[in-house]
Amino acid sequence: MLAFTIRRLIQSIGVMLVVSLIAFVMFRFVGDPVDQMVGLETTIEEREVLREQLGLNDATPVQFLRFVGNAIQGDFGVSYQFKRPVATILGERMPATLELAFVSAILALVAGIPMGVYTALRRDSVLSKLFLMISLIGVSLPTFLIGILFIFLFAVVFQILPSFGRGEIVDLGWWRTGLLTTSGLKALILPSITLALFQMTLIMRLVRSEMLEVLRTDYIKFCRARGLRSRSVNFGHALKNTLVPVITIAGLQIGSLIAFAIITETVFQWPGMGLLFLQAVQNVDIPIMAAYLLLIAFLFVMINMAVDMLYVVVDPRIRIGGGEE
Amino acid sequence: MTDTPLLSVRDLVVQFPTRKGVLTAVDGVSFDIQRGEVLGVVGESGAGKSMTGAAIIGLIEPPGRIASGQVLLDGERIDNLSVNQMRRVRGKKVGMVFQDPLTSLNPLYTVAQQLVETVRTHLPLSEKQAREHALALLDEVGIPAAKRRMDDYPHQFSGGMRQRVVIALALAAEPELVIADEPTTALDVSVQAQIIDVLKRLCSERGAAVMLITHDMGVIAETADRVAVMYAGRVAEIGPVRDVVQHAKHPYTQGLMGSIPTLAHDSDRLVQIHGSMPRLTDILPGCAFNPRCEHAFDRCRQERPSPIQNGDRAVACWLSDQEVGQ
Amino acid sequence: MSVVEQSDRPGFIARMRDTDIWYSFVRNRIVMLAAFITIVIFLGALFAPLVAPHNPFDLASLSLMDSLVPPVWMEESDPRYLLGTDDQGRDILSAIIYGARISLAVGFASVAFAAVLGISLGLLAGYLGGRTDAIIMRIADVQLTFPSILIALLIDGSVRGIFGGQFSREDSAFYVLVLSIGLSFWVQYARTVRSSTLVEKNKEYVQAARLIGLHPIKIMLRHVLPNVTGPVLVIATINLALAIITEATLSFLGVGIPSTQPSLGTLIRIGNDFLFSGEWWITIFPGIALAVLALAINLLGDWLRDVLNPRLR
């Protein structure tokens, strides 16, 4: 158990180091940082001074170590576009993205799991076929198109929901939330559904295929052969086994929600990290891109670890090692 | 005791629709099992043994279905019961033991949880009583230190121990009939005999009948009272075990018996049956065994023999009036 | 064993008709419809100059007089423009046909790029093993945890950062997109090919090939490729839909194909600005075209996967 945890921890650190390296290479070698920071009229001597100050003349490994060290302390440098520290900008934008992703994740799970279970149990019912059709459309329709359609329907035609922004924000000091006002909640509806749809269809299909697999196993047949009630067989024995692998993928999907938020935030002009990142890509603002990459990687690693811990709780085969007598 | 057999299978036909036509996995099978009797069902894989067992307990996977025939338990049909009625029969009246103990138990529940749930589904017991019942069962099937181990998960037991748990689960609600589908095939040779022993002892103590499905003629010879030999979805021969083993009448059974090496018998060679069982999709008219039969004649190629009853034996062979192959 | 008479061997068409693939294809009407739509769109895109009623890139034929004309069934429409025109007077239908051509070109090119890259790396990882394998598969693992859209955006941003001033956006956009999308999709191919290679590697013919002086990689490629044709085809089909969607998304986000030669995604982005002022057709029709194309290809991919992997049916 302990060995398992330590191994996972080392793996996570390895992943973070690889991503840091990529972020560093981007930061250091994509374009010249000095060019981005000064105007055209700056003399070569002044540039050289700045270069020395920034440590850009040091050996590359030293620069990398300094980059990692700074990143650990939350220092990602200064944005080329905004001329402000990247960490501060990201900090301002983070609550908006996290609230959006959190609400979407809940939506995706709450709708996706029951739909997956239903379509697995009633494979030939009309409703199942409808769900599967919807899921295929959900996978085929690009997120931004769904967003545009929602805006067209609910903001342009019916004019019942706002099409952009977060509505009224309450400042809690360390967190600016839109969850406490009516306009904030209303503003959240369209973006969160847009963001949730794709994940929902993925989770539904995943639950369905896992459930079908589990329903074919011997132990489920044996449950039926013992005359257990079908409710207990389907929702006790089968669903519990289905959810074990689903946890992993669902965890990763929640991570990718944050990345997919780039698109949703752009469509709805949602002032989160995704919109910030996109503006950074358009303007080749490398410090923000690198910091965002690191942040996403960190979130993924954390979610992965959380999922592994959850696994241990759910599956006795991992919790209690194989005790063949 | 009445004269009604405990289980009576009449002209059972199980079919699977496939795109190349309907596949008949079980084709007009009939047999009885008396109370407390052990009926061995033997045959090659694909002969329809397991499918017959699944049909009796109503667990044929769709799109397969019972196309015709009847299954009677205590003289009452159980093949046309509603889903919920059939559920009450399963476990309570007919128990089942599957082949592979490693996959038969739900890995996420303890042995005690699975037993208690099964007991309480069928018997009006409290949680505590059900637990005691479960403990007694585990003791009976020979789990050492059952009290301490019942709250372990299946993966903490060895294969042989798990199969004992499976037997305990199958017998949890005191069924009158236990269908054991290749209960020892997946086990080490060294524990096979023990498991058969446990199964036989527990069933005879409870007066439960057993339908023992296997391809191992040796197990049948030692365990069963009567034996049904199946071939290509049909019963080739059925009768008391001693008679069938020593005086097989169907050419296929003779081949099967010839392929068992025995110490007692002085046979100097192992007989083998040439060729292989036909695919169920291209069974010819006439006797299904005729392409492999040394004694086949015209009638065998045109007409299909039904089992001809003769005393307590029945043989589906046109030659069955006379002893063949001597 | 009886020898099959040569003359009895059925022809190719007859044999095709006996396969599971053909059976399931004919039985499944939706799949037939999807195939039909896909073929129509492919042909339309391929022969765009012949099919499209106007040439949206011919600046001489454009007239601002014709801008923002609604579809023919609405008032103030113009019978020359079936689905209306955009702000520059371009015919929407023609723009969609030409746009699909660009979207499909990016899609095919990036899928081909990803497949070649993934197959090569998978073969290399499986055959060489050891450190090469570890490095390639670690990169794959790390990359797999990130959504492809993020990777494409990062690559897109980096490439433009590196080559920034050297090429005009019009010239480079296509290649940057293919590179970004292709690099974000190679992992699945690599994994599939690697596992198949591991199986083949220890077979005797590989040793034998070495003995007679053939290069093992060359001979393995010949044996591994047939084994992975099915899975690779499924991955490629589903990836094609994904690549088209990714291209559209990037173009919509403003980092893809520029508006001088718009793809479907670019058209949607252009139209999005007019959504609130009531000119919905500029964005909705390209949107429908994109959705139908992606859905049809996805249906084919789903069906292929089910046919080639009946266990998950």
Q: Which chains touch A (3 or more CB pairs under 8 A)?
A: B, C
- Measure in Å the smallest separation between the Cα of C76 and chain A Cα atoms: 21
The Cα B121–Cα B98 span in angstroms is 20
**pLDDT surpassing 80 at residue C57:** no
The Cα C296–Cα B286 span in angstroms is 51
Q: What is the pLDDT of residues C207-247, one digit of tens each?
A: 777 777 777 677 777 777 777 778 888 889 989 999 999 99
How high is the pLDDT of residue B259?
A: 62
How high is the pLDDT of residue C19?
A: 62
CB contact under 8 A, C149 and A252: no
ipTM for the predicted complex: 0.86
> What is the mean predicted confidence (pLDDT) over C57-75?
72
Largest CA distance in chain B: 67
Sign of the dihedral through C-alpha A141, A143, A148, A151:
positive
The Cα-based distances of A157 to A150, A209, A282, B177, C277 in angstroms read 10, 38, 31, 68, 11
Answer yes or no: are the C-beta atoms of C52 and C79 closer than 8 Å.
no
- Residue C182's nearest CA partner among C151, C145, C225, C224 is C151
**pLDDT surpassing 60 at residue C78:** yes
CB contact under 8 A, A232 and B173: no
CB contact under 8 A, C295 and A140: yes
Burial grade of A61 (CB within 10 A; 0-12, 13-18, 19 or more): exposed
Residue of A nearest to B170 (CA): A226
Q: For residue A85, give every residue at least 6 positions away whose Cβ sits within 8 Å of its Cβ, in sequence order, or none.
A: A75, A76, A77, A78, A79
The Cα C183–Cα C176 span in angstroms is 11
- Residue B113's nearest CA partner among A228, A310, A225 is A228
Q: Which chains touch B (3 or more CB pairs under 8 A)?
A: A
CB contact under 8 A, B90 and A316: no
Q: For residue C19, give every residue at least 6 positions away whose Cβ sits within 8 Å of its Cβ, in sequence order, or none.
A: none
Residue of A nearest to B56 (CA): A225
CA A124 to centroid of chain Cα atoms: 34
Mutation pick from C252, C280, C305 vs chain A, by most beta carbons of A within 10 Å, is C252
Q: For residue C223, give every residue at least 6 positions away whose Cβ sits within 8 Å of its Cβ, in sequence order, or none.
A: C200, C203, C205
Query: Strands B38-42, B226-231: parallel, antiparallel or unpaired by DSSP?
Result: parallel
- Residue A156's nearest CA partner among C252, C82, C272, C285 is C272
CB contact under 8 A, A281 and C153: yes
Q: For residue C47, give every residue at least 6 positions away whose Cβ sits within 8 Å of its Cβ, in sequence order, or none.
A: none
CA–CA–CA angle C153, C154, C156 (5° rounding): 65
Q: What is the pLDDT of residues C191-207, one digit of tens each?
A: 888 888 887 777 777 77
Burial grade of A40 (CB within 10 A; 0-12, 13-18, 19 or more): exposed
pLDDT band for position C290 (cuts 50, 70, 90)? very high
The Cα A160–Cα A158 span in angstroms is 6
How high is the pLDDT of residue C205?
A: 73
| Helix boundaries (H) for chain C | 12-17, 20-27, 29-46, 48-51, 92-128, 130-144, 148-163, 169-183, 186-201, 204-211, 216-252, 264-272, 281-308
CB contact under 8 A, B91 and A227: yes
Tokens of A11: 């793996």
CB contact under 8 A, A227 and B105: no
| Helix boundaries (H) for chain B | 49-56, 83-89, 101-104, 111-122, 127-140, 146-149, 159-171, 189-206, 217-223, 241-246, 251-258, 298-302
pLDDT band for position A129 (cuts 50, 70, 90)? confident
The Cα C293–Cα C233 span in angstroms is 18
Sole residue written with tokens 């207990």:
A232
CB contact under 8 A, A142 and C290: yes
- Residue B236's nearest CA partner among B38, B43, B5 is B43
The Cα A237–Cα A234 span in angstroms is 6
Sign of the dihedral through C-alpha B106, B110, B111, B115:
negative
How high is the pLDDT of residue B326?
A: 39
Q: For residue C313, give every residue at least 6 positions away whose Cβ sits within 8 Å of its Cβ, in sequence order, or none.
A: C306
CB contact under 8 A, A259 and C255: no
Mapped onto helix, strand or coil, the DSSP state of residue A61 is helix
For chain C, give the mean pLDDT: 80
How high is the pLDDT of residue C312?
A: 39
- Measure in Å the smallest separation between the Cα of B211 and chain A Cα atoms: 15
Q: What is the pLDDT of residues C149-207, one digit of tens each?
A: 888 888 888 877 777 666 666 677 888 889 888 988 899 899 888 888 887 777 777 77
Mutation pick from A124, A216, A226 vs chain B, by most beta carbons of B within 10 Å, is A226
Sole residue written with tokens 């994740």:
A105
Q: Which chains touch C (3 or more CB pairs under 8 A)?
A: A
**pLDDT surpassing 70 at residue A49:** yes
Answer yes or no: are the C-beta atoms of C116 and C239 closer than 8 Å.
no
> CB-hemisphere CA count at 13 Å for B87?
16
- Residue A325's nearest CA partner among C301, C208, C113, B143 is B143
pLDDT band for position A7 (cuts 50, 70, 90)? confident
For chain A, give the mean pLDDT: 85
Q: What pTM was computed for the model?
A: 0.80
Q: What is the pLDDT of residues A139-170, one digit of tens each?
A: 788 889 999 989 988 988 888 888 888 888 88
CB contact under 8 A, A226 and B109: no
More confident residue, C81 or B162: B162
Q: Which amino acid is at B75?
A: G
Q: A271 phi and psi, to 5 degrees?
A: -80, 60
- Measure in Å the smallest separation between the Cα of C287 and chain A Cα atoms: 7
Residue of C nearest to A133 (CA): C299
pLDDT band for position A1 (cuts 50, 70, 90)? low
Closest partner residue to B122 among A227, A314, A317, by Cβ? A227
How high is the pLDDT of residue C280?
A: 84
- Residue C291's nearest CA partner among A263, A136, A147, A141 is A141
* Interface contacts A/B by beta carbons within 8 Å: 98
Q: Which residues does chain C have within 8 Å of residue A289's beta carbon, measured at their own beta carbons?
A: 154, 157-158
Q: Write out the residues of chain A at the interface with chain B, using a CB-CB cutoff of 8 A.
A: 217-230, 232, 237, 240-241, 244, 314-317, 320, 322-325
Sole residue written with tokens 């069902």:
B41
- Residue A76's nearest CA partner among A239, A293, A320 is A293
Mapped onto helix, strand or coil, the DSSP state of residue B63 is coil
**pLDDT surpassing 60 at residue C38:** yes
How high is the pLDDT of residue C310?
A: 46
The Cα C283–Cα C304 span in angstroms is 32
pLDDT band for position C297 (cuts 50, 70, 90)? very high
> What is the mean predicted confidence (pLDDT) over A183-201?
90
pLDDT band for position C21 (cuts 50, 70, 90)? low
Closest partner residue to B155 among A228, A244, A317, by Cβ? A317
- Measure in Å the smallest separation between the Cα of C165 and chain A Cα atoms: 11
The Cα B246–Cα B249 span in angstroms is 9
Q: Which amino acid is at B58?
A: G
How high is the pLDDT of residue B80?
A: 87
The Cα B29–Cα B266 span in angstroms is 34
Q: Which residues does chain C have within 8 Å of residue A284's beta carbon, measured at their own beta carbons?
A: 157, 160-161, 164
Mapped onto helix, strand or coil, the DSSP state of residue C175 is helix
The Cα C164–Cα C276 span in angstroms is 34
How high is the pLDDT of residue A320?
A: 73
- Measure in Å the smallest separation between the Cα of B316 and chain A Cα atoms: 32
H/E run at residue B230: strand B226-231
The Cα B308–Cα B320 span in angstroms is 8
Q: Which residues does chain C have within 8 Å of residue A29's beta carbon, measured at their own beta carbons?
A: 162
CB contact under 8 A, B156 and A323: yes
Hey, which residues 124-183 in chain C have their CB within 8 Å of chain A? 138-139, 141-142, 145-147, 149-150, 153-154, 156-158, 160-162, 164
CB contact under 8 A, B88 and A320: no
State what percent of residues in chain C have pLDDT above 70. Answer: 85
The Cα-based distances of A98 to A91, A105, A164, B324 in angstroms read 11, 10, 17, 83
CB contact under 8 A, A259 and C164: no
Answer yes or no: are the C-beta atoms of A253 and A203 closer than 8 Å.
yes
Peptide bond into B63 cis (omega under 30): yes
How high is the pLDDT of residue A198?
A: 86
Residue of A nearest to B90 (CA): A227
Mutation pick from B83, B98, B155, B179 vs chain A, by most beta carbons of A within 10 Å, is B155
Q: Which residues does chain A have within 8 Å of residue C180's beta carbon, measured at their own beta carbons?
A: none
Q: What is the pLDDT of residues C101-118, one digit of tens each?
A: 999 999 999 999 999 999
| Cβ neighbours around B71 below 10 Å, total | 22
Residue of A nearest to C297 (CA): A140
The Cα B325–Cα B270 span in angstroms is 15
| Cβ neighbours around A282 below 10 Å, total | 16
Low-confidence ranges of chain B (pLDDT < 50): 1, 323-326
The Cα C14–Cα B324 span in angstroms is 47
Closest partner residue to B107 among A224, A232, A317, by Cβ? A317
Mutation pick from A122, A125, A219, A310 vs chain B, by most beta carbons of B within 10 Å, is A219
Mutation pick from A145, A284, A289, A292 vs chain C, by most beta carbons of C within 10 Å, is A145
Q: In angstroms, what is the C-alpha Rg of chain B? A: 21
pLDDT band for position A45 (cuts 50, 70, 90)? confident
Tokens of B148: 């301490």
